[in-house]
Structure 1
Amino acid sequence: MTSASNEARPSGGSVKHAAAGNGTSPAIADELVEPLAPEQLAAEWDEERPPHAGPFANVAAAVAAAALGIAGLAMSVGMGLGSPEKPEPGLWPFIISLVMTAMSAALLVFGRKKLDAEAFSSSSWQVVAGVATLVGFVLVVGVAGFEIPTLLLTFVWLRFLGKETWRMSVVLSFAVTAAFYLIFVVALSVPIPHLF
């Protein structure tokens, strides 16, 4: 028993090489590789990470987000806030814009010396495309109802921004739209524009 176990246990090298040498399939050998230590994993992530944006980019991002939040506050008040018992259309946009403005102010004060932000790169255009399609959604939803814009927005985000397969994008787009309809229109009777 002892000699058999000693023969099975490699004297040196990694578990992967030992498994491959004993006739184990490559798929099983890959599963037997020991995971990286947290320090090694952090070092790998630092190597693959885009360059830091720097303090000027952090300030610019905070100012842009604050301006967007302030504009949202003004537009929300224009739509009417109502009360928590009887909310009007501007209440939730007001709350979200208020949180955005507060977080932008905190980033402006505390985030200038942080190096966590990434520099703009070609992948940053995906964020621009996401915001542009979201703005288009907001402009169209009042005219066409939320079902078709939600379906199209979800599909574009999944297929073109998230690189999902065509089938998965179509299925999830219909599922998300149906879930929103059931939750907000049927269950909660939220007064949002809808077709059905």
Structure 2
Amino acid sequence: MTSSSRQEAPLGTSTPHAASGTGSSAIEADPVEPLTAEQLAAEWDEERPPHAGPLANVAAGVVTALLGVAGVAMSLSMGIGTPERPEAGMWPLIISLVMAVLSVALLLFGRKTLDAEAFSSSSLQVAAGVGTLIGFVLVIGLTGFEIPTLLLTFFWLRFLGKETWRMSILLSAIVTAAFYLTFVVALSVPIPHLF
């Protein structure tokens, strides 16, 4: 009996022919090559929402400038004190001035920039976040901070962040307890609270 031209594979191993079940050799998959910086930038540009345009940039600058000016007026009405003895309006005044200055810069130089995104359905999430934050500030003096903090955190996690119900409830309770322990118990900050 003559020996066959095909050599036997040792026990415990297989040949490509045996693995594929066909006479052709196994095809190796090509590894995925990483994208270059230019390819990645082009891919991001395709997925990005449309640009806002110069009119939207001007409108944003005007609105934020008006908010900054209103903040300055309210800060001055609260009293700012001195750097050695600041009063309640000191930090709001600084923040409002920075907002107003940056808004003027946006009005002067922002018309040509393309970084801003056009308003879309996702902009409603920002509006909902700001609206609930304003509501939080309005009711915190009436009810204490615990219940509004719990509800605000739950709303942001569940409806804006799309977390699960269980995670939203758990994290809301943890955040509220952490705020209470930090500001009321440890630091004795004079904020309205129930307990």
Range of TM-score over shorter length? 0.7 to 0.9
Mapped to 1, the partners of 2:174 and 2:164 lie a distance apart of 15
88-97 or 167-176: which moved more?
Answer: 88-97
1:50 maps to: 49
Mapped to 2, the partners of 1:49 and 1:77 lie a distance apart of 41
Code of the residue aligned with 1:62 in structure 2: it is G
Gaps of 5+ in 1: 1-6, 16-32
* CA distance 1:173–1:86, change in 2 (3 Å): farther
* CA distance 1:92–1:179, change in 2 (3 Å): farther
Instruction: Give the drift of 1:175.
Output: 2.1
Map 1:44-83; keep pairs closer than 5 Å: 44-83=43-82
2:148 maps to: 149
Q: Of Structure 1 and Structure 2, which has the larger fraction of its residues in helix?
A: 1
For these two proteins, the number of residue pairs brought into alignment is 171
Mapped to 2, the partners of 1:177 and 1:130 lie a distance apart of 18
Map 1:26-175; keep pairs closer than 5 Å: 33-83=32-82, 86-175=85-174
Mapped to 2, the partners of 1:95 and 1:119 lie a distance apart of 29
Mapped to 2, the partners of 1:82 and 1:145 lie a distance apart of 28
Kindly provide the CA deviation profile for residues 128-147 of structure 1, in whole angstroms up to 9, marking residues without a partner as x: 11111111111111211122
Mapped to 2, the partners of 1:184 and 1:95 lie a distance apart of 24
Code of the residue aligned with 2:153 in structure 1: it is T
Residue 112 of structure 2 aligns to a residue whose secondary structure is coil
Code of the residue aligned with 1:177 in structure 2: it is T
1:178 maps to: 177
* CA distance 1:102–1:120, change in 2 (3 Å): same
Mapped to 1, the partners of 2:147 and 2:187 lie a distance apart of 20
2:30 maps to: 14
Kindly provide the CA deviation profile for residues 64-115 of structure 1, in whole angstroms up to 9, marking residues without a partner as x: 1111122222223333334555544433333332222222222222211101
Larger Rg: 2
1:29 maps to: none
Mapped to 1, the partners of 2:94 and 2:165 lie a distance apart of 36
Residue 117 of structure 1 aligns to a residue whose secondary structure is coil
TM-score (norm 1): 0.76
156-165 or 168-177: which moved more?
Answer: 168-177
* CA distance 1:166–1:91, change in 2 (3 Å): farther
Residue 62 of structure 2 aligns to a residue whose secondary structure is helix
Mapped to 1, the partners of 2:42 and 2:184 lie a distance apart of 48
2:193 maps to: 194
Code of the residue aligned with 1:104 in structure 2: it is S
* CA distance 1:127–1:193, change in 2 (3 Å): same
85-94 or 135-144: which moved more?
Answer: 85-94
Mapped to 1, the partners of 2:89 and 2:72 lie a distance apart of 9
Code of the residue aligned with 1:159 in structure 2: it is R
